[in-house]
C-alpha cells in the first residue's frame, strides 16, 4: 500500500483504509461476517485481484480477520476485528455527510438492501431489547433488534425472531426515502407474527435515507 509518510494520525489512518475500495469493504462487514463471494457481490465492479489485495492489506493491518465457522457449515468468513469495529463511527459520519452533501445517484447506480439499512442503524427504536424482527428482502435476510433504545441490524435469520417480515426492495426503499409510511409498508408486505412488533421494528427505518437539515450556526 502507498503511504503518505506523515506523522499526522489522519494520514496514518488513511495509510490503512485510504486505498480505493477499502472503506467499502469495511462497510460490507458492518452488518456481520461475510464469505468471499458475498463480499464480491456486495462490491459490484471490484476486480477480483483488487478484492484479494484489499483483504490481505486489511488483515495485515488488523482491521479484518478470517475464520472458519464450526461444523456442519465449515464456511470461511471475513469479519471486522475490534480495531475494524472502531471505524464504524467514521463510516456513520461519512454516511450522514453523503446524505447531506453527496451527489445525487444516477439511475444506473447499483443499490442493495444492506446499504439502505445502514442508514437506520443507531436511530431511536421502541422495540424492546429482547424482541427481534427478521426482515427478508429478496434473497437477503436481516434481523432488527434494539440495544439501549437504538436500532441494530445484522445479516442473517433472526435467532428466535418474534416476527418475520417479507417485503420487496421497492417497498423498503420507499419506506426509507419517506415515500411510504410504516403502516403502508407493512400492509404491502407478508407478516408472519405480531404486526405490532413489525411496525415497532420498522419505525426507525422510516425516512432514514432522507438528509436532515444542517443546523444553522
Question: Mean pLDDT throughout 164-176?
Answer: 97
Q: Which residues pair with 17 in a beta bridge?
A: none
Kindly give the pairing relationship between strand 76-80 and strand 133-137: unpaired
| CATH top-level class of 9-101 | mainly alpha
**Residue 144 in contact with residue 132, Cβ under 8 Å?**
yes
Tell me the pLDDT band of 161, cut-offs 50, 70 and 90.
confident
Mean pLDDT for the chain overall:
93
User: What is the SS3 assignment for 122?
Assistant: coil
Residue 152 phi, psi (nearest 5) = -120, 145
Q: What is the pLDDT at residue 108? A: 92
C-alpha cell at 98: 453523503
Structural domain spans, the chain: 9-101, 113-205
How much of the chain, in percent, has pLDDT values that exceed 90?
87
- What are the pLDDT digits (tens) for 66-98? 999 887 778 999 999 999 999 999 999 999 999
Q: What is the pLDDT at residue 213? A: 65
Question: Mean pLDDT throughout 129-135?
Answer: 91
pTM value surpassing 0.85: yes
- What are the pLDDT digits (tens) for 105-131? 998 999 999 999 999 999 999 998 889
Question: Mean pLDDT throughout 22-48?
Answer: 97
Task: Give the residue, 183 or 130, on which the prediction is more confident.
Answer: 183
Whether 217 has a pLDDT exceeding 60, the answer reads no
Residue tagged 446524505 (cell numbers): 99
| CATH top-level class of 113-205 | alpha beta
Helices (H), the chain: 9-17, 22-28, 36-42, 48-60, 82-85, 88-101, 113-118, 169-176, 182-187, 195-202
Amino acid at each position: 500500500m502507498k503511504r503518505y509518510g506523515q506523522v499526522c494520525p489522519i494520514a496514518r489512518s488513511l495509510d490503512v483504509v485510504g486505498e480505493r475500495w477499502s472503506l467499502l469493504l469495511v462497510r460490507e462487514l458492518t452488518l456481520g461476517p461475510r464469505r468471499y463471494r458475498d463480499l464480491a457481490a456486495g462490491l459490484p465492479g471490484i476486480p477480483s485481484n483488487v478484492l484479494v489485495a484489499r483483504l490481505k492489506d486489511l488483515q495485515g493491518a488488523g482491521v479484518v480477520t478470517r475464520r472458519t465457522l464450526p461444523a456442519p457449515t465449515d464456511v470461511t468468513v471475513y469479519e471486522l476485528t475490534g480495531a475494524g469495529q472502531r471505524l464504524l463511527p467514521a463510516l456513520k459520519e461519512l454516511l450522514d455527510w453523503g446524505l447531506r452533501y453527496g451527489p445525487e445517484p444516477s439511475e444506473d447506480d447499483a443499490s442493495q438492501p444492506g446499504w439502505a439499512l445502514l442508514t437506520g442503524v443507531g436511530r431511536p427504536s421502541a422495540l424492546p431489547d429482547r424482541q427481534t424482527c427478521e426482515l427478508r428482502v429478496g434473497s437477503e435476510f436481516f434481523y432488527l433488534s434494539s440495544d439501549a433504545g437504538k436500532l441494530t441490524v445484522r445479516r442473517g435469520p433472526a435467532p428466535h425472531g418474534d416476527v418475520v417480515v417479507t417485503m420487496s426492495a421497492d417497498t423498503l426503499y420507499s419506506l426509507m426515502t419517506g415515500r411510504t409510511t410504516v403502516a403502508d409498508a407493512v400492509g404491502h408486505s407478508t407478516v408472519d407474527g405480531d404486526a405490532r412488533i413489525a411496525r415497532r421494528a420498522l419505525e426507525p427505518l422510516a425516512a432514514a435515507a432522507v438528509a436532515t437539515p444542517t443546523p444553522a450556526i
